[in-house]
Structure 1
Amino acid sequence: MVDHATLLDDMTARSREVFRHVVDTYLATGAPVGSRTLTRTLEEKVSAATIRNVMQDLEYLGLLAAPHVSAGRIPTELGLRLFVDGLLETGDIGDEERQRIETSVSSNSQDVSDVLDHVGQALSGLTQGASLVLTPKREAPIKHIEFVSLGPDRALVVLVFADGTVENRVFAPPPGQTPSSMREAANFLNALMEGRTLSDLRHVMAREISTRRQEIDVLAQQLIDSGMAVWQGETEDINRLIVRGRANLLDDDGDLARIRELFDDLERKRDIAQFLELTEEGDGVRIFIGSENKLFSLSGSSLVVSPYMNADRRIIGAVGVIGPTRLNYGRIVPIVDYTAQLVGRMVSDRS
């Protein structure tokens, strides 16, 4: 992995100056930069031959590349990363840009999703790139829940909220789960919904598990006292009751039958509780794109993104801009940063 700080330190002042001007000119024009162009822009008066030698050294370091044999140089991805990390100078956000962002955030809509959609449109218009807005997961009453298997290690949960909005989240289900077990989990949870949030449901499941565990402990202790059974191991984490001798064959024994039912019920509820936990942790963001760019087919693209926080200083989302590597980083970085600050404030105020 390249150490950008060391690379910059190893460059001479002239090399850094030439490199900065090549990148600045390329970002402004999109065209390869030749040595004759630099002789007119560098403060230090040096010959074109000297500049060509410096550019060759920068090319050897992997910072510049020549798209054609006789053409000038353009920065490589490594060169752009070095520039952004070590040499980028950001300006202040302009008054007009500030006003447009503030107007988008101060929308009168009561739906945060609508406001964020306006924010995405404003970012896209200001930057001429694709805007990206990652929204916080909702903690609102749920009307319906469904789990859909996408493969052995991927599943989708569909949350239908009481206000009619729908949110999809992808998560890795517990090992060994089948489509039928997921349907059973969804049916059980839908019977408990009654306008509860995910957090409410988790508390309900925790109480259910605790109740079942207490029932098992009482019945198991009776069997242990009678010498018919013993717990495997000595820790509470090991929940296997070893039934001794002929008691294994007593299928009609009431206590044994009840314990078997309780163990089965306990395992089901633990699985469902884990579903809920994974659902809350799942990748639940929704993406708002302010242009027609196809996010996942872009090549040679850049993303400028800034997280936003709630009143507890917890990161709950992010806003950003996606565009070609030839972005005006010095202008876009403060725009994205300011937008994230306003969005965080707006979300905190509304919650």
Structure 2
Amino acid sequence: MLDPRAQTLLKTLIERYIAEGQPVGSRTLSKFSGLELSPATIRNVMSDLEELGLVSSPHTSAGRVPTPRAYRLFVDTMLTVQPLSDDEQVKQNVQQRLTPAEPTKLVAAAASVLSNLSQFAGVVLTPRRSHVFKQIEFMRLSEKRILLIIVTPEGDVQNRIMATQREYTPAQLIEASNYINSNFAGLSFDEVRRRLRSEIDQLRGDMTVLMQQAVAASTDESDPGETVLISGERNLLEVADLSSDMARLRKLFDVFDQRTSLLQLLDVSSHAQGVQIFIGGESNLVPIEEMSVVTAPYEVDGKIVGTLGVIGPTRMAYQRVIPIVDITARLLSNALSQH
């Protein structure tokens, strides 16, 4: 526990470091903290904070910078997130961009919005592809090639190309899709497969074969399931904290290339309510000490289906980024729920 004086000085140091990006000295703390303290007293408090692992002294300066532990204390106990001064403008901006018709395009647009508003990288964990279908349609491409169109309950449209052993007429394909939609809509393809096995004698042979091929095509193992969409990662090249060290920069872009740790991080945050903040150096989920991730889950009809967020430096203006992430998650949820 910090006494009020130490807490005020640490909060001031973090706010000045976020604003200016330079180590903060005693004179600056005296000026901005509002405390009537001598430089010697401030130096003593800074020394205590350094012993607690909350600040460190770069070799090149007498000033101090916050550690990941200090940022965690700051966002958990000192940060008061106010509505953005341009709150309505931000909402209108997000709403205008979240207008594409297809859910997949909405999700991609959300990543772009987060990047543009934060000037860092926007990231979205896309919903798992639904294995339940609302409607399917068969479209003949050639003699033995058929396009399978799957519409999920979320309104997502997925296309698969099927190679068949025999030729089907357009009338047969319409009949098959009508039968399947009236008898199996709302089920998962695994359930359809089980039903087919039990009802196989009651179904016409041609339709059974076609449906089995549709099930096989819809559950193709090459389907990636969840994916991570990233927009604006090049913005991070402009952030000196991340780009000044080539090894750090390489590690950062390794994260984007592999995406595995991002997927894990976003998956963890999808199980929580509201905005989550992950600060580098405090867990393996954020592999770079100078990097933070601010996330929030988004929903379809009240059910969490994915996560979105902003990736930036630990020295980010959290009081601005947090409401941007929160607003975008809420508006994306609304847009997806309307489909």
1:285 to 218, 221, 227: 227
Matches within 5 A, 1:1-351: 10-68=1-59, 70-93=61-84, 94=86, 95-105=88-98, 107=99, 109-139=100-130, 140=133, 162=150, 165=158, 199-207=187-195, 284-292=226-234, 294=253, 296=255, 299=288, 300-311=290-301, 313-350=302-339
Partner in structure 1 of residue 262 of structure 2: none
Q: 1:55 to 1:162 in 2, by over 3 A?
A: same
- Structure 1: gaps (5+ residues): 1-9, 145-159, 168-186, 213-271
* Aligned 8 A contact 2:11 2:74 in 1: yes
Q: 1:131 to 1:166 in 2, by over 3 A?
A: farther
- C-alpha offsets along residues 89-118 of structure 1, whole Å, 9 cap, x if unaligned? 11213233222112112x2x3222222222
- Count residues with an aligned counterpart: 239
Q: Which of 1 and 2 has greater Rg? A: 1
- Structure 2: gaps (5+ residues): 139-147, 152-156, 166-175, 201-214, 237-252, 257-286
Root-mean-square deviation over aligned CA pairs: 3.6
Taking only the aligned residue pairs, the percentage that are identical comes to 33
Q: 1:59 to 1:142 in 2, by over 3 A?
A: farther
Q: 1:322 to 1:199 in 2, by over 3 A?
A: farther
- C-alpha offsets along residues 171-209 of structure 1, whole Å, 9 cap, x if unaligned? xxxxxxxxxxxxxxxx9xxxx998988943111233367
Moved over 6 A (4+): 141-144, 192-198, 209-212
Q: 1:211 to 1:326 in 2, by over 3 A?
A: same
Q: Structure 1: which amino acid aligns with 2:293?
A: L
Whole-Å Cα distance in 2 between the matches of residues 69 and 49 of structure 1? 20
Q: 1:135 to 1:198 in 2, by over 3 A?
A: farther
Q: 1:132 to 1:198 in 2, by over 3 A?
A: farther
- C-alpha offsets along residues 45-81 of structure 1, whole Å, 9 cap, x if unaligned? 1011101110111111111111126421111111111
Whole-Å Cα distance in 2 between the matches of residues 209 and 115 of structure 1? 38
* Aligned 8 A contact 2:108 2:229 in 1: no
Partner in structure 1 of residue 282 of structure 2: none
TM-score by length of 1: 0.59
* Aligned 8 A contact 2:129 2:225 in 1: no
